[in-house]
Structure 1
């Protein structure tokens, strides 16, 4: 599935969490093909930051809750 602008939802989420391109395994329709899972895992672990992910999730929740509060009838 593609988001507005032609970027895949998968890629967009990985970018949001600062895990792209390390955690992206590729796509069957890509000219590069599929990446090696273990190499991708190792690269992802080098950039994975649990606290950063928690902060992003908390921020996204705050933004969404604010939206719900502003738009409720």
Structure 2
């Protein structure tokens, strides 16, 4: 049985920044963020998302290809 997520994110009057594909960070007042998103925001390291969005699509694809190569090497080493 799935455990229900309880939202304990502290309410802050500051503006929060949401990431949208193809756009930069958009300031959004905390109260305008849907509750289900606020609950998950505390569990997501958005700094990693921001860093990844600074890369070009080609750089992201190259990074992904390197990760796949590493995975295949690790699987082969484990046999």
Greater Rg by CA: 2
Structure 1 or 2: more strand by fraction: 2
Q: TM-score scaled by structure 1?
A: 0.41
Structure 1 or 2: more helix by fraction: 1
